[in-house]
Every structure is written in structure tokens, then in C-alpha cells.
Amino acid sequence: MKPLIVALALVLAAPAPAAQAAARTPHDLRRLAHQNGIRIGTAVDVAALRTEPDYRAALNREFTNVTAENAMKWESVEPQRGVHTWADADAVVDNARRHGQQVRGHNLVWHNQLPAWLTEGVQNGTIGAAELRRILRDHITTEVRRYKGRIRAWDVVNEVIDEDGTLRKSIWLTQLGPGYIADAFRWARQADPRAKLYVNDYNLEWNSPKIEATLALIKDLRSQGVPVDGIGFQGHLGIQYDYPGDWANVMRRFADLGLEVAVTEMDVRMVLPVTPEKLATQAAYYGRALTGCLSVPACKEFTVWGFTDRHSWVPGWFDGEGAACLLDESLTPKPAYTTLLTSTP
Ligand code: G3I
């Protein structure tokens, strides 16, 4: 080919600047995840996964990581003592495997969504402390072993620090003493040595007593050789409150301990009705949160607590609030979704 023709061919083949920019902007969250080397996850509603093809399609198109919203909690997997019901949790894990998604296990020790046989047994004294400790060990061992090799990370203890920085006065603390936390991590490590083990909590984005107490707890555990690998920031925000502007610095403080950092349950609720202004503020909150995570090398997971307003815990818990997710009820992307796609560190 003559040099002139070669030069012309190269010019014609080169994308125009606008096309280059478009090529850099990912078209969905899965691509955003790959471009940034992070996992982008969502909580999964098992009933919707089973019965709503459009929900299933969006879930599998957009996300590289999943968390069962309720299906792995103790009341779901052992509703009667010794009777395990794994079908819902299996459905989440099996669907994830078929679609190349990693799984966050949620959760092993919590004060909520415990089966009635357990809470009532403790309350009426038929389950004493020694037995309760065995029950907890068996629960952790059974569930973690069942999904060994299929769950990347477990929320081992969920919400164990109170707002004032003291240990939460759950049945675990009052019956077993503070050692239950170290025990839980050790039992989980034994059951699946490769799973990453997390402390997970809310309001950790801004609440100083909680932040300081959680840092101190994890330092103390690690100094005793307890296998804590990561910290999960739930990230339940609302636009009626200021954005927690120091959040990325808080992430760095945990990362400096050598921990993995993850955003585990992000959503941004608002007082209804929805307005364009509120959606814009919501988008800014989501964008700042992702940008914060991307600016901290240890933060490699950004998980939302449900991706559609069709299925969100918010309206059931906060009167008059809602619209907290990235997609609306009909799965149409909201401004927050578009903002995430263009977020950079
Ligand atoms: O499954 C029962 C159903 O049988 C019953 O008929 C119905 C009537 O109330 O309740 C159903 O259980 C509900 C369950 O979700 C499953 O849908 C519970 O009432 C309801 O309280 C429960 O709420 C869950 C909540 O945790 C419980 O604390 C939310 O879906 C779930 O999104 C939420 O998730 C938590 C995270 O695990 C930890 N961080 C905070 C986050 C939001 O609260």
C-alpha cells in the first residue's frame, strides 16, 4: 500500500474523540466493576429471583457479587432446632455460580432474625450458657462448611457495637461474654480457611464512638491472632441527612490495619414523594460513596442493599420514606445509576 493510503486508512480507523470517551464509559455495572478491578454487588430477594424474569435478568446482567438479603440468616436456615432449610440460600449461591458472581455470606452472628426456638430457649432458661455456646459453634460450622469454597467472604459478626461504642447487649454478650466474637471468627476460619472473615456494621461511616470502638475491637482481636480479614460498611444513608464526608478517611483507617474494606449494604433513601432534585442529591451520595471506595486501594467491593425500588426494605422500616435504590420499580435506571457509571477515584 502507498504511504498516503496507509495514513488515510489509519485516520479513518481511529475513533473520533467523542467515540473514545464513550468507549471509556461503561454501559453497565458489571463493566464498571471490571474496568475498576472491584466487585459490584447487590442483596438478592430470593422470591423475586425465582418468580420475576426481569428482576433475574437485571441481577445477572449488572452484578458481579451477591449477598442473600435474608436467606442465609439463622431464622431462615434453621427455623426449627436441628431442621435446616437451605433451599433459598442454595438458590442464591447456585444462581451466582451460573452467572460468574461471587458471594458474600450474610450473616453468622447477629441479634436479629434469630429463630424463635433459640431466643425463647434462652429467655425461659432451657438453653443455658454452655449449651448456647455449642449451638453457636454448630451453627457457624454447619453453615460455613456447607458453602465452603463457594462464599468469598462472610459477615461473621453483624452490628456488634452500639451507638455509644460499647459492645451491643445481645443475648450473645449477656450469655457468653465478649469472647463470643473471637470464638465466632475462629470457628468460621476452621470451617472454611479460605473465606475472608468480616466485621459488618451500620453508621460506621460517621459515628465516632462506633468507629473508635470498632477499630479498637479489631486491633485487640488481631493482637490475639483472631482471624479478622475485613470491615464492612453497610452504608444505609438518607438524603435528609448530610453526606458522611469523612467516610473515605474512615475507610483508610481500617485499611491501615491491613484489612479488606467493603461497602456491603449501600442505599440512599429519601422522604417521599420523589422529585428530580431529590434524585439528583441521591445520585451525588451514591457517586461520592463509590468514588470514596475507589480512592482506597483496600476497598474492592461496592454492594447495594437491593437494586430496585420494587424490592427494598426501606418503605417497611421508615414511614413515608423510600426510593432508595439505583433502579425504579419498573427497573428503569435512576440518575444514581448513571452517576455510578461515570464515577472515578
Ligand atoms: O419471611 C417472613 C414472612 O414469612 C412473614 O409473613 C412476613 C410478615 O412480616 O415477614 C417475613 O419476614 C420478613 C423478612 O424481612 C423477610 O422478608 C420480616 O418481617 C422483616 O422484618 C425482614 O426484614 C429484613 C431485615 O433485615 C430484618 O432485620 C429485611 O428484609 C432486610 O433487608 C434487612 O437487612 C438488614 C441486614 O441484614 C443488616 N443490616 C441492616 C439491613 C436493613 O435492615
Active site residue 159: yes
70 CB within 6 A, ligand 1: yes
E strands, 252-292, are 260-271
pLDDT of amino acid 101: 98
Give the Cα separation of 217 and 207 in Å (integer).
15
pLDDT of amino acid 26: 79
pLDDT of amino acid 321: 98
Ligand 1 centroid from CA 326, angstroms? 20
**Catalytic pick among 159, 205, 260, 301:** 159
pLDDT of amino acid 24: 67
Among 281, 229, 239, 235, CA closest to 42:
235
85 CB within 6 A, ligand 1: no
Atom number of ligand 1 nearest to Cα 112? 28
Q: In testing the pocket of ligand 1, which one of 113, 156, 307 has its CB within 8 Å of the most ligand atoms?
A: 113
Active site residue 69: no
pLDDT of amino acid 287: 98
Identify the residue whose C-alpha is closest to ligand 1 atom 26: 70
Strand duo 196-201 + 153-158: pairing: parallel
74 CB within 6 A, ligand 1: no
| 192-195, long-range: CB < 8 A, 24+ apart | 192/144, 192/145, 192/147, 192/148, 192/149, 192/151, 192/154, 194/149, 195/105, 195/144, 195/148, 195/151, 195/152, 195/153, 195/154
Residue where the block lists cell 467523542 = 18
Neighbour count for residue 160 (Cβ, 10 Å): 24
Ligand 1 centroid from CA 67, angstroms? 14
- The answer to whether residues 191 and 144 touch, using CB atoms and an 8 Å cutoff, is yes
Residue where the block lists cell 464509559 = 25
Atom number of ligand 1 nearest to Cα 73? 37
Ligand 1 centroid from CA 315, angstroms? 12
**Reported pTM:** 0.93
Q: What is the pLDDT along the chain (345 residues), one digit of tens a residue?
A: 444 444 444 444 444 444 444 456 778 999 999 999 999 999 999 999 999 999 999 999 999 999 999 999 999 999 999 999 999 999 999 999 999 999 999 999 999 999 999 999 999 999 999 999 999 999 999 999 999 999 999 999 999 999 999 999 999 999 999 999 999 999 999 999 999 999 999 999 999 999 999 999 999 999 999 999 999 999 999 999 999 999 999 999 999 999 999 999 999 999 999 999 999 999 999 999 999 999 999 999 999 999 999 999 999 999 999 999 999 999 999 999 999 999 988
